[in-house]
Each structure stands twice: as structure tokens, then as C-alpha cells.
């Protein structure tokens, strides 16, 4: 569930009144998502037409200083025909406002649903949409450091401690120690960089059939190795949920879709096995930390760190490196 902030009807009407989007008709809290509070907003404009938006109130995990990067990026990509929602600016032209000390933004509502059991044609479309974002972001003037890079994995997993990791699984501390050392020693320095989404899981993609109608949740977007985003998306889309089964048809389709819009360079493709190990480590790190540190009564469904430890072991097996060959 993700509605952490309570807003009364009058407060909601006042918030929506700051935008030139018509009169508030309804506001329904959205259960999906874990980080921020979201509502589906319906308004009626002066011609009587119904309009829909997403109202997001940013909670502790999103740094307000980063909002101009995230929200300007949406406008930049939308202006270049990427399937991302636009930010509705308020009557003063601002992309976000404050209410009771919390930042909020009103975002265009996009149709579509998140697929839970993707087909290869859908993975192909997602690969192509990701490449479209990478190309379209090339002239976005702002940068943001990846707050979930190698240093963050080391910090989060260090905070878990050997005992904590072993409590999750007896083998986990050994795997993490070995892989973190290897990733620190070999993480590539000279691959092309740009703006990346960094969290393109199926629940952050809206689809109608095989068409991508929305890429959402850009709140980990940052400047980093472009091919790392391909690796993140690969780890997110190309396995069954618990990571016990690799799905080769989805893998080929995702990479083909990406290549059809932005062909991967030889060096990028060669680096994918290592980048994918890093991608698996990134989600293993946050999931393990949350597994050990989330209070029992928190209104959130914890995600299994072992699902990404299994992906990590798959990517680390030299016999599987060929999945990334063209």
C-alpha cells in the first residue's frame, strides 16, 4: 500500500486548485508502489470534459533536491515522443509544490497495465522504449549521481552484516563478499554514460497489448553507464519472479528490441555479463537491507533478496555469458 499521507477533501481541492486542470471530481488512493503516496485524480474542465492525473506526494526516500532532475527529465523525454508522463506545472509555472512541508507533483495519467507474465513481443517493445529514452536523453542538460551505485551496495550490505546476511540464507554472506570484491575490482570506467532509468521493472512499465504506453517511476533516474540500464532491465524482465528460471526468449527479445533503436557497441555488449552481476547486486542490496530493517508493522510487502542472489549466481556463471552475445 502506498498512501502514507492523509489529505482531507478540502485540502485535496485546494492542492488541485493550484493547477489549471479543472475542478476536482474524485481522488482515489493507489495501493501499488512502495516509496511515495499516489492518488488517481479526476477533474472536469470548463468544457465539461473529464481529465485524469496522478498526484504524488514525495515521502522520505525521495530527496526534494532531486525533483527538478526527475520532473524536468519527464518533460524533456515527453517532448521527444518517449512514452513518459508529462508534469503538470502549477499556475506559477512550477513543476512541484509544497503542502504541509511535503513536496508534491501532478503528473499526466497514462493508460495501460503492468504485465506480470511478459511475452517476448512485450520485452522487445520495452527494450526499444529503453533505447529511445537513452537517445532522447542525450541532450538533457542535467546530471544526477547514481545514489544506488557500487558505494551504496557496499554500504547497505555492510550495514546488513555477515550475521544478517547469513540469517537470510546461509550462503548469502559468502556470495556477497566474493561478488562485491570482484565488482569493485572490475567495474568498467570507460563505457558510454548518459541518463538512465535504473529501475525499469515490469511494474514501472504500462502496456496495452504489445505497446508500451508508459514508462513511470523515474525516481532512481541518474547519470551512469548506459549499458548498465540494459543490464538492470534484463535482470528485471528475463527471469521468473523468484529467479530460479532464466527466460531465454525474453532475453533475446529485450536485447533485439534495444538494438533495433540503439545498437549496443561491442564494448558495451562484452561488459553486459559484469554489468548484469552489478544490477543483480544492486537489488539484492536494497532488498536485503529492507528485509532486515523494515519494522514488522510497516504497511509494505517486502521483496525477496534471494530472487536477486539467484540471478547474480546465474550471471556469474561463465557458461551463461553467451546469452549476451549478438
Ligand X SMILES: N[C@@H](CCOP(=O)(O)O)C(=O)O
- Interface with ligand ADP (CB under 6 A): 2, 30, 32-36, 38, 54, 85, 107-110, 203-204, 214, 216-217, 219
The site partner of 303 among ligand X, ligand ADP, none (C-beta below 5 to 8 Å per kind) is ligand X
Q: Which region, judged by CB under 6 A, interacts with ligand X, from 111-119, 121-129, 195-203, 293-301?
A: 195-203
Helix (H) or strand (E) holding 306: helix 306-316
What binding mask, one character per residue, do residues 200-239 give for ligand X by CB under 6 A, x or -? -x-xx------------x----------------------
Q: Which is nearer to ligand X, 291 or 324 (CB)?
A: 291
- The HSE-up count of residue 303 (CA atoms within 13 Å, CB side) is 16
Strand residue runs (E) in the chain = 23-29, 37-44, 50-57, 87-88, 97-99, 102-108, 193-196, 205-208, 211-215, 222-225
Q: Which region, judged by CB under 6 A, interacts with ligand X, from 27-35, 46-54, 77-85, 121-129?
A: 27-35
Neighbouring residues of 86: CB distance < 8 A, sequence distance ≥ 6: 74, 75, 78, 107, 108
Q: Which region, judged by CB under 6 A, interacts with ligand X, from 28-36, 80-88, 119-127, 265-273?
A: 28-36
Per-residue cell: 160: 546488513
The site partner of 283 among ligand ADP, ligand X, none (C-beta below 5 to 8 Å per kind) is ligand X
Q: Using CA atoms, how far apart are residues 36 and 274, in angstroms rounded to an integer?
A: 31
- For residues 156 and 287, the answer to whether their CB atoms sit within 8 Å is no
Q: How far is the CB of 273 from ligand ADP (least distance, A)?
A: 29
35 binds ligand X (CB under 6 A): yes
Identify residues 279-298 at the interface with ligand X (CB under 6 A): 283, 286-287
Q: Using CA atoms, how far apart are residues 36 and 3, in angstroms rounded to an integer?
A: 7
First to last CA, the chain: 41
Q: Which chain residues interact with ligand X by CB under 6 A? A: 33-35, 199, 201, 203-204, 217, 283, 286-287, 303
Amino acid at each position: 500500500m502506498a498512501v502514507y499521507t492523509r489529505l482531507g477533501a478540502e485540502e485535496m481541492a485546494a492542492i488541485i486548485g493550484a493547477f489549471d486542470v479543472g475542478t476536482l471530481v474524485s481522488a482515489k488512493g493507489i495501493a501499488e508502489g512502495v516509496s511515495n503516496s499516489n492518488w488517481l485524480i479526476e477533474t472536469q474542465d470548463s468544457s465539461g470534459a473529464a481529465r485524469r492525473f496522478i498526484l504524488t506526494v514525495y515521502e522520505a526516500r525521495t530527496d526534494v533536491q532531486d525533483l527538478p532532475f526527475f520532473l524536468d527529465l519527464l518533460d524533456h523525454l515527453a517532448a521527444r515522443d518517449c512514452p513518459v508522463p508529462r508534469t503538470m506545472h502549477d499556475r506559477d509555472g512550477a513543476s512541484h509544490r509544497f503542502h504541509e512541508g511535503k513536496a508534491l507533483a501532478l503528473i499526466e495519467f497514462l493508460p495501460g497495465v503492468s504485465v506480470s507474465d511478459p511475452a517476448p513481443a512485450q520485452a522487445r517493445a520495452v527494450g526499444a522504449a529503453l533505447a529511445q529514452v537513452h537517445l532522447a536523453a542525450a541532450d538533457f542538460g542535467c546530471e544526477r549521481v547514481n545514489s544506488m551505485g557500487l558505494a551504496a551496495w557496499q554500504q547497505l550490505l555492510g550495514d546488513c552484516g555477515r550475521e544478517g546476511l547469513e540469517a537470510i540464507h546461509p550462503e548469502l554472506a559468502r556470495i556477497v563478499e566474493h561478488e562485491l570484491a570482484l565488482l569493485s575490482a572490475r567495474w568498467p570506467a570507460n563505457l558510454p554514460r548518459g541518463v538512465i532509468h535504473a529501475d525499469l521493472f515490469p511494474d514501472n512499465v504500462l502496456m496495452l497489448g504489445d505497446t508500451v504506453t508508459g514508462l513511470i517511476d523515474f525516481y532512481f533516474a541518474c547519470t551512469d553507464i548506459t549499458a548498465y540500464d540494459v543490464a538492470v532491465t534484463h535482470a528485471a524482465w528475463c527471469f521468473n519472479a523468484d529467479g530460479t528460471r532464466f527466460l531465454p526468449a525474453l532475453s533475446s527479445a529485450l536485447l533485439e528490441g534495444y538494438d533495433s533503436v540503439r545498437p549496443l557497441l561491442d564494448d558495451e555488449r562484452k561488459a553486459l555479463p559484469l554489468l548484469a552481476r552489478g544490477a543483480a547486486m544492486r537489488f539484492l542490496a536494497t532488498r536485503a537491507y529492507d528485509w532486515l530493517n523494515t519494522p514488522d508493522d510497516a504497511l509494505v510487502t517486502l521483496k525477496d533478496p534471494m530472487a536477486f542472489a539467484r540471478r547474480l549466481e546465474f550471471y556469474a556463471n561463465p557458461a551463461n555469458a553467451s546469452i549476451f552475445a549478438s
